[in-house]
Amino acid sequence: MATRPRTEQALDPRAELSEFLRSRRARLKPADVGLPEYGRRRRVPGLRREELAQLAGVSVAYYTRLEQGNGRNVSLEVLNAISTALDLSETEHAHLLHLAKPRQRDRPAPRQRQQVRPVLQTMLDAIESVPAYVWGRRTDVLAWNKTASALFGDWTARAPQDRNWARIVFLDPAARSLYPDWRTKAADVVGQLRLDAGQHPNDPLLTELVGELSVKSEEFRTMWAAHDVKRKTHATMRLRHPLVGELTVYYETFTLPEDQDQALSVYHTEPGSKSEEALRLLASWGPDAPASVEHARAPGASSH
């Protein structure tokens, strides 16, 4: 059995801060922020450092030190000004604060996977009519009900370390068939990993996961290098399920109050729609879903 690549070195918050600021600056043009664009040729994409410093009301030397990763003594007021100048989203602003002022710089995270309270599994089982699962850091899937397993694939059949959305999306070929908008799903997963990296730079399992995906997937390397961060709390998703065909689901994600590193995602469909009918069929099968479309259509099998 092939072993996963391991990396002992944690993600460097200074390098992460530097690259994040450069990537956000590169996406802005002078015209986007009301500045004149002198000359036809610019040696760097996006805003120059001096232009960004002017917008933020700080000296070029001060901003340069920050962009070089030296954010230890930067004030919250300066970070807010730079965030406004870069037109950061709420999620990006939070990511900037975590990178500039990491709270866990000297405290490595534990290597073991997170655990969920038993009562949460009981709750998931009680709402078996809709897909629902709890996920945590590194996009690990921690607990689920039978309908979620029927919709997204049998997580029980996967090794614990493979119950992870990033590994599934980038390394499991079935994911590209399940998600017609695969690149959108992939970008969401990478954006969530970037948020985790900002909050937990010393997480060894996250470092190993990023290293593994970087080695095995060129698409992951490209998306990771973009430094985009995302926190998806609700959205519409199209799926192409091998048994029930195409369906549209809506999801809502709720952060658990007692553990901000865990979240509950619940999926539903439009009442009276074909998607609702398809989801109801999957819920009736649960983990005993037929192994193939042909089996699902065999005499005596459940059908539409």
**149-171 pLDDT, tens per residue?**
999 998 999 999 999 999 999 99
Phi, psi at 267, each rounded to 5°: -115, 145
> Residue 81 is which amino acid?
A
Is beta strand 141-144 parallel, antiparallel or unpaired with respect to 245-256? unpaired
Average pLDDT, the chain: 86
Chain-centroid distance, C-alpha 40: 38
Q: Between these two residues, 146 and 298, which has the higher pLDDT value?
A: 146
Tokens of 279: 């989801």
Q: What is the pLDDT of residue 297?
A: 37
Q: Are residues 210 and 90 in the same domain?
A: no
**What average pLDDT does the segment 273-292 reach?**
80
Judged by average pLDDT, the poorest of 96-110, 190-204, 214-228 is 96-110
Decide if pLDDT at 3 tops 90. Answer: no
Count of domains for the chain: 2
% residues pLDDT > 90 (the chain): 67
Asked if residue 111 is part of any domain, the answer here is no
How far apart CA 274 and CA 263 sit, in angstroms, is 28
* Domain boundary, last residue among 74, 100, 126: 100
Asked if residue 108 is part of any domain, the answer here is no
How far apart CA 140 and CA 304 sit, in angstroms, is 33
Q: Residue 86: give its domain's CATH number.
A: 1.10.260.40
* Domain boundary, last residue among 100, 134, 165: 100
Chain-centroid distance, C-alpha 110: 21
Asked if residue 7 is part of any domain, the answer here is no
**64-90 pLDDT, tens per residue?**
999 998 877 888 999 999 999 999 999
Asked if residue 206 is part of any domain, the answer here is yes
* Domain boundary, last residue among 49, 73, 100: 100
Q: Residue 207: give its domain's CATH number.
A: 3.30.450.180
> Residue 165 is which amino acid?
W
Which residue, 101, 67, 123, 102, is CA-closest to 264? 123
Asked if residue 245 is part of any domain, the answer here is yes
Tokens of 228: 């985009």
Q: What is the pLDDT of residue 172?
A: 96
Evaluate whether 116 touches 134 at the Cβ level (below 8 Å).
yes
Question: What's the full length of the chain, in residues?
Answer: 304
- Tell me the residue ranges of DSSP E strands in the chain: 132-135, 141-144, 234-241, 245-256, 259-268
Q: Are residues 96 and 127 in the same domain?
A: no
Q: What is the pLDDT of residue 45?
A: 73
**List of residues 6+ apart from 294 with CB closer than 8 A:** none
Decide if pLDDT at 108 tops 60. Answer: no
Q: Are residues 158 and 250 in the same domain?
A: yes
Decide if pLDDT at 304 tops 50. Answer: no
For residue 31, give its domain range: 13-100
Evaluate whether 213 touches 220 at the Cβ level (below 8 Å).
yes
